[in-house]
Each structure stands twice: as structure tokens, then as C-alpha cells.
Chain A
């Protein structure tokens, strides 16, 4: 087994007369196999961000509900536009 079959880089790129076909296969396969995991990672990140937002929103929703409950119990009239409203949006 030789260390390398080719004599020059140009020869390697030319692949006899079949350079277009060999490199056409290689590049498409390489691009596909790089793109697929990148797309998955992107999808995973987006999902994580969405879930975080959702859970945070639920948490503040729950927080607001308890505030309202205590207010009702204490007989405090709930005022619209209280800070708690804008907080939940953050």
C-alpha cells in the first residue's frame, strides 16, 4: 500500500476525466451531511427557547393568579394596569 496514489494536486482534482462527477458527488454528500446536523441543532435551540418562554409565561401567570387570589381574599379591588401585568411580558 502506497502512501499516496497521486503525483500532483492538479491530477487529484482532475480525477482522470471524471472530476466533475467525483467532486459533484462528494460536494453534495458533504453539504448534505453538514447541513442535516446543523438544521437539527437549530431546531433544537428554537424549541428550547420556545419552551423556556412558555414555562416562564406560565410561571408568571401562576404568580399573578395567586396575587389576585390573595387580593380577593383581602378584599382589595384589583386595579387594571398594575405593574404585575407588564412584568409578565418580560
Chain B
């Protein structure tokens, strides 16, 4: 037990995590590519058309995974942030920092694909639907997180302050979602929702599942890549970074 704890502590140090992440990244890329190809093959080539929505429904193979990821990443980010706040792990703040831009990107992609889905389905680019509105607010929360981080120069303070913000955000996301939903039903917005089709064919489900898995693997790979850069940058005055750079130079020479 204590042995395992020590192991965890070891990998929680940037020094040990940096090479480990470097070894894991290619595997996540491979998985992302494999799942992506399978998912897109099923979604775009095999799956039959949707009776009500026509071929435009295929956008959901992109839209739904992007929306899921934008939400998951926020929760994961808040989890890392909270861990950092509670136990003062150096790694957690860096992970939260590495996840934020990817989450924001997925939130943007979700809005973009949602708009392109809405135009043929609803006849308009934007509907004040509860989901779309919450997604927009989620993007604002990401932007706030990134802006707060980049405004604070001291990385430790930036870690802690943005962690508080992420936790406040994660408590608020459900409140915001339900208030927007309430507002939406009062204003009798759209009765159509994005994942409406009640009897989604199993083929479609499989396609969606693989696309979602591909996005997961992609997000992990990208976050690991970014966290490595952040580690080098922030630990540049330590011995291990010096050794790492020297080794890289020797390998290239």
C-alpha cells in the first residue's frame, strides 16, 4: 500500500512524468487514429440516412463527441485543479493548464458544428436552445480560466487562483444549465433537440462511440504534449531539465 503510494508520488513529480508522458504520447496518437478511422468509416460511409433529418444528421458524429469532450475536460480540469489545491502537487496545476485550451477548442468546435447542424435542420444558424446556450457559457468559462492564468505571472499563484475559479465554475455549471433550461422552456424555444431521434440505429451508436473514443485519445495525447512543454518552461531552473536538454543535444549530435 505505502509502496504504491510512493510510486504515485514519484510519477506525480514532473521529473518522472516528463519521460513517461513522452513514451505514452505515440500510443495515444495511434489509438486516436484507429478509433477515428473506424468511427468516421461507420458514421460517414456505413450508417444509413436518418429518415427525418436527411444526410445532415451525420454532423452529430462530430458534434456530439466535441460537446461531450468540452464538458468532460472541464470536469477533469477542475478535478486536477482541486487536487492541486488540496495536496499541492506540482503536476496538477500544470495538467489543468494543459487541458484548458483543448477544452476551449472542443467547446468552439461544438458550437461550430452545432450551428452548421442547425441551419439545415432548424433553418437558422443559431437557436437559443438550452444546450447551445450552455455550451456558449462553457466556452466563456474556459476563456475566463485561461485569461486568469495568463494574467498572473507567478505560476504557483496562477495555479491556485485558477483552481479556485475552476471549482467555482464546476459548481456553477449545473446551476447555469438548469437556469438556462428553465428560461428556454418559458420562452418556448425550439422543441427540437440535438439528440432527439428516439430510436437511433445501433450502427449510429457504434459510430458515435468510436468517434467519442477518438476524441478522448486525441485530448489525452494533446494534453500530454502540452504538459511537457509547460513542465520544461516552468522547471527550467532545475537540474533535471538541464539533464534532459543535454541528453536531447547529445542524441541529436
Which A positions have Cβ atoms within 8 angstroms of B?
1-6, 12, 15-19, 21-22, 24-26, 28-29, 32-33, 36-37, 40-41, 43-44, 47-48, 51-52, 54-55
Contact = CB atoms under 8 A, between A and B. Distances in A.
Given A28-B109, A40-B226, 11 more contacts: A5-B47, A15-B58, A21-B56, A21-B117, A22-B59, A29-B109, A29-B112, A36-B101, A37-B221, A37-B225, A47-B229
A32 B218 CA distance: 12
Contacts, number: 96
B157 interface: no
Contacts of A6: 45
A49 to B, nearest CB: 10
B154 interface: no
21 contacts: A1-B203, A4-B45, A5-B46, A5-B47, A5-B48, A5-B49, A15-B58, A16-B49, A17-B55, A17-B120, A18-B55, A28-B112, A29-B109, A36-B102, A36-B222, A37-B222, A37-B225, A44-B232, A51-B245, A52-B249, A55-B246
B76 interface: no
B105 interface: yes
Interface residues of B, number: 42
